[in-house]
Amino acid sequence: MNSRPLLLLMLLGSLVTIPRAICSPTEEADNRLKKAVGEVVTIAAHAPDRKTLSEQVKPVLEGILSFETMTRRAIGPGWRQFTPAQQQEATGLFTTLIIRTYTAKFTPGELPVETFKTASTPSPGRVEVPTTSSYNGSSYDVVYRLEESEGWKITDVVIEGVSMIANYRTQFDAEFTQGGANAVIKALNHSLSSSQ
């Protein structure tokens, strides 16, 4: 009996890979968010102080938050009147402000508990993940809004029904109306200096 066809079949079989389970976009975004939150909580558990915490969570937050999109939306229509250099500066300042504001809410050694609820897809390429965040005896309803752009990234956070982006937009609109891009950048610098 010629064993050649059997050998060929065995070799071909060894080249076939079984595809892993394909996640839906909602599951993919949900899993990515849970992983990032887990990383932040792990860092917070071991950070000796807020400055260290801020430095250590920065790469995690830069990986899960779309700071450029958030900055552009927080500034609103005036963003188009910023020069590329001003856009870059505003994004850098806004990134630092968000990270500093976020980490200021942590007390080193005390960990938040995030309870994830069922994620939804309000439109293609967008996922909302509702959670309840418990920390220091208080609970808050938080909705993370993620969009698919080079991987799933957070583009807004809604805390107790208030959109972080809409909140900043109100502030930046007033600054922009009074003094354009320079006024917005000055306001960002002022917010950073007062949050140290």
Residue, of 19 and 136, whose pLDDT is higher? 136
pLDDT for 48 equals: 86
Whether 158 shows a pLDDT value over 50: the answer reads: yes
- Give me the mean pLDDT over the 75-94 stretch: 96
CA distance 100 to 61: 11
CA distances, 179 to each of 52, 81, 139, 173, 196 (Å): 35, 12, 39, 10, 25
Whether 86 shows a pLDDT value over 90: the answer reads: yes
Beta strand 138-148 with 162-163: parallel, antiparallel or unpaired? unpaired
Residue 159, beta-bridge partner list: 142, 162
- Give the position of tokens 């309840």: 132
Is 3.10.20.30 the CATH number for 24-194? no
pLDDT for 138 equals: 87
The residue ranges of every structural domain in the chain are 24-194
**What confidence tens digit (pLDDT) does each residue in 112-150 have?**
888 999 999 999 999 999 999 988 888 999 999 999 987
Q: Name the strand (E) or helix (H) holding 13.
A: helix 4-15
